[in-house]
Amino acid sequence: MTDFFRKRTANAKNDILSGITVALALVPEAVAFAFVAGVDPLVGLYAAFMIGLITSIFGGRPGMISGATGALAVVMVSLVAEGNAMGAGDENLGLYYLFATVILMGAIQMLAGILKLGKFVRLIPHPVMMGFVNGLAIVIFTSQLGMFKDVEGNWFTGSQLWIMVALVGLTMGIMFFLPKITKKLPEALIGILVVSAIVIFGDLEVATVGSFIRELGGEGLKGGLPQFQFDIFNKVPFNLQTLKFIFPYALILAAIGLIESLMTLNLVDELTETRGDTNRECMAQGGANIVTGLFGGMGGCAMIGQSLINIKSGGRTRLSGIVAAVLLLVFILFASSYIEQIPIAALVGVMFMVVIGTFAWSSFRILNKIPLSDVVVLVAVSVLTVIFDLAIAVIAGVIISALVFSWENAKRIRARKRMREDGTKVYEIWGPLFFGSILAFNEKFDVKNDPDHVEIDFVESRVSDHSALEAIFNLVNKYEAEGKSIKLKHLSEDCKVLLYKASPKFREVVVEAVDDPRYHLAENPEAFPKPLSTYKLL
């Protein structure tokens, strides 16, 4: 029992200190995203608390931080606006439609977990991952540049600009040099505390978390515990018309939330050299969004910037996320006046260091060493992440990669032709046979001029899909229409089963008796337990 607790508390100090840092960084992000969505700051803060707590306890990736995110907030803008237009001016109906949508979004995400769709994240190619990381770093960087503007959108000038730059630079300097002196102190938290002390005791006129909230139209961080939103059931009519309105939004939000969460999980896996559970994360994200919708939160997903802050600050277990979420609620309930004094410059400095650590600088070094198609994917995903959002970028990157892969494999189909002594013409097929290679496959055969007996050998080929089966079926019919005999050899078992289902005549065409050891190896790898190179070839 002692060993059990020792193993789980070995990193407790780092997790707690990292959780404090993340909680401080969560505040302005959650507030900003709430205003982007057109709702009260507390709606964003409650979402960050509830989603962060639930996913930290039940999620599939210890150390990952979830909360209200900009990718979802952008979609919510039109949802809230359309919802408000359905009611009276002061009814604020859009907020309750948002809560209902978040609940449905959570249900969709839980369904994805039940169906084990999380495993499909492994289909994301590495160039897409690198492009996503680079695009994300650029998005985080450009989002922080807004902190160098006043409420009217004008850039800081004069002493205001230089003080901001100096404080940001000081925070970054502390985070860069402190680990070289000692690794026992959390550099991000120390940077925030030092810069905050300088601003408070030096009585500097700079933007703080409090002034940031007030400039955006809020009254402050002070609030109570999240309350169950009974008004959802009173104000939102639960009928087909409502479902038609909220379902498209819920589906888009669920897809964006899962993609961003699973991509973040993948990234944290690489950084920590461990493996998370994608399906469990889908379930946790879905459950968290259902709860946050019922208790007045705007919904959310994994936060890549805060997750990286947590990992780089030493957070590794579920404790770090739990501490961050609970402290966020403590800030709302008891310490709002202190948190509001934290200078925005300190948080910007932390995020800039996250940008430097997030960007895959190695991508510049490998651009001339990888295939051109991978370069195109990497750059395209980076650009699309900046212009649109993460979901569109990742989906586009996967589609481009899949098309390139299909095209390259379509060109690999080969046919080696030879004549036997008995006059039979043999076609030995090499390469994958699928929808992309069908045209090239059909061009290999000369049905009219071939001899009366033809044999097609698939030992070095793999029949991959229905298009390939249809191509074989049509080829057999063409030879038979010319009155010629055709035999198919070395087809895989699953392919033979499908052909037999398509037409009983294939039992006469397919050769079952096989005497080629290569075929046995392909069909039953366990027959050769050692690498093939260790066997003597006779």
**pLDDT at site 496:** 84
Query: At how many degrees (to 10) do helices 240-272 and 70-85 cross?
Result: 170
- Residues 242, 200 contacting (CB under 8 angstroms): no
* pLDDT of res. 6: 55
* Predicted pLDDT at 411: 84
Mean pLDDT score, 232-248 = 91
Residue 517 scores a pLDDT above 70: no
Q: Residue 366 — very low, low, confident or very high, per pLDDT cuts 50/70/90? A: confident
**What amino acid occupies position 282?**
C
Note the pLDDT of residue 226. 92
Other residues' Cβ atoms within 10 Å of the Cβ of residue 158: 7
Residue 423, both tokens? 């006059």
| Residue boundaries of the structural domains of the chain | 10-399, 413-534
Tokens of 241: 């018309």
Q: In the prediction, which pLDDT does 527 show?
A: 44
- Please tell me the predicted confidence (pLDDT) of residue 1: 43
Half-sphere exposure of 497 (CA within 13 A, CB side): 3
Report the predicted TM-score, pTM, of the whole model to 2 decimal places: 0.72
pLDDT tens by residue, 423-432: 999 999 998 8
287 neighbors 58 (Cβ within 8 angstroms): yes
Q: Give the pLDDT band (50/70/90) at residue 215.
A: confident
The pLDDT value given to residue 100: 95
94 Cβ neighbours under 8 A, 6+ residues apart? 38, 79, 80, 81, 82, 83, 84, 85, 86, 87
Percent of the chain's residues with pLDDT above 70: 92
Looking at domain 413-534, its CATH architecture is 2-Layer Sandwich (3.30)
Phi, psi of 455 (to 5 degrees): -130, 130
Report helix, strand or coil for 484.
coil
Compute the mean pLDDT over every residue in the chain, rounded to the nearest whole number.
Answer: 85
Q: What are phi and psi of 500, to 5 degrees?
A: -65, -35
C-alpha–C-alpha distance, residues 252 and 249, integer Å: 5
Instruction: Give CA 536 to chain center in angstroms.
Output: 47
User: Could you tell me the pLDDT band of residue 242, with boundaries at 50, 70 and 90?
Assistant: very high
Q: What is the pLDDT of residue 528?
A: 42
**Residues paired with residue 462 on neighbouring β-strands, in sequence order:** 432
For the chain, what's the residue count? 538
Query: Confidence class of residue 19 from pLDDT cuts 50, 70 and 90?
Result: very high
User: Average pLDDT of 34-38?
Assistant: 74
pLDDT-based confidence at residue 500 (cuts at 50, 70, 90): confident
Q: Exposed (0-12), middle (13-18) or buried (19+): which is 448, by Cβ within 10 Å?
A: exposed
- The pLDDT assigned to 271 comes to 84
Answer yes or no: is pLDDT of 126 > 90.
no
Give the range among 266-275, 470-479, 494-503 with minimum mean pLDDT. 494-503
Q: What is the pLDDT of residue 71?
A: 76
Kindly state the DSSP code that residue 465 receives in the 8-state scheme: S
Predicted pLDDT of residue 218: 67
Q: Is the pLDDT of residue 122 over 80?
A: no
The winner for highest mean pLDDT among 24-38, 386-400, 451-465 is 451-465
How many angstroms separate the CA atoms of 212 and 97, rounded?
27
Which range, 84-93, 202-211, 348-357, 528-537, is most confident? 202-211
- 305 token code pair: 């910037």
| The three-state (H, E, C) secondary structure of 76-144, written as one string | HHHHHHHHHHCCCCCCCHHHHHHHHHHHHHHHHHHHHHHCCHHHHHHHCCHHHHHHHHHHHHHHHHHHH
Is residue 452 very low, low, confident or very high in pLDDT (cuts 50, 70, 90)? very high
Q: What is the 3-state secondary structure (H, E, C) of 213-244?
A: HHHCCCCCCCCCCCCCCCHHHHHCCCCHHHHH
Question: Which position has the higher pLDDT, 249 or 123?
Answer: 249
Is residue 152 over pLDDT 60?
Answer: yes
Q: How confident is the model at residue 107 (pLDDT cuts 50, 70, 90)?
A: very high
| Model pLDDT, residue 363 | 87
- Token pair, residue 185, equals 């102190």
> What's the pLDDT at 515?
56
Dist CA 119 CA 112 (whole Å) = 10
pLDDT of res. 171: 92
Kindly tell me if the per-residue pLDDT of 164 is higher than 70.
yes
